[in-house]
Structure 1
């Protein structure tokens, strides 16, 4: 279940590169307006599989309607941006929509926005073997790095100073394990079918860094990747990937996928 949210302001504004916390706060505010009990459950229960959201997309054409300032963020002259929200849980999705209809305005990035009518999006019929793009960067991490690091954000490519002999292999292994865990949580049974992931050459892979704040946690610096991928497996498990995101820290705004 996926919805497109378009927001418009009365004046130009700047979208921070560290947008995650602002958009996550917007989502929880809408959930609270929809049903405070549901919002508290989603917010406080770390074991619940929740949702994923995309990065913000400025409306219009680059150069004419928006430009990127390498230090500050994306300056939007068109006064409008959109992002996507997705979940596999109907009770979360319905509560979120109910809250949106009660939300007259919202302040993000120091600017007041007005919400246009939400647009529920149709899901693709099939995903296996199709080129997919990331709508928010993919994050995969481990707490068992051999160099003693408390948390190590993994790369789909081999970094020069990696503490792992084959970091891309571990990146792939943990992504597939995480997806199988989501399947088990939602379906109540182990996934036994084939499952694989391939990193594509196009679009050009890019490493991004973000300051994010987990629930009831401190601010952390996170590395994630924008790239193209292909997934291979049963459509049922790939649908879960589409709805909940690929990789980790999905409810912080990482791992949303779209069809190229």
Structure 2
């Protein structure tokens, strides 16, 4: 048997900052840089991950909790930033021009031996994108800040051995919260965030048989509960390991791989 491994970790996940690490033995990328450069470095160091392996940054959209540390970390490590023109226009700071790589929908990008596929998602931002990272036949999706599960998301989710999947809010907790009506509508109105229920429907109906890990991501501090989300998914998980990505600390590093049979010529 041969293995194509990917190592994944959530460095932070929530409205206070989002940053996800995906890489193999040679290269890695960061998806979003919503925590400071210093905090990113500290968390990677604790996990035994090296910034020397990080070769690029991919930005999903321009909201502050996804780009807060971008200008500093990209400049310090001379990392190319893959970002759409609309997202770039929405950023409130300057990124070094020589580091900008304009990103387009359904684009396939090579970063060393990694392959990254981008596709448009539904969210209240300018040109928001999700990403699938591949190493050999192993695929990991980063699917957060999603208003609804569109056909593109379903298509890519079906191919993933692991995924970061948004489970932002519980319907009952959101309806009873002190949030003003307009904010509740923004969150649940189809262009904001994915609820536990909608994420669970996606997982139950479209997860592939070979999926091994699901990291529940971008949980609301006020309108969700880690134990509740974990319990809901665990009931239907089977052999899939369910992990809640924290808004306070980094996750473990998880090893994801596709096993490929090596056929004898005889």
TM-score (norm 1): 0.29
Higher relative contact order, structure no. (Cα contacts within 8 Å, ≥ 6 residues apart): 1
TM-score (norm 2): 0.29
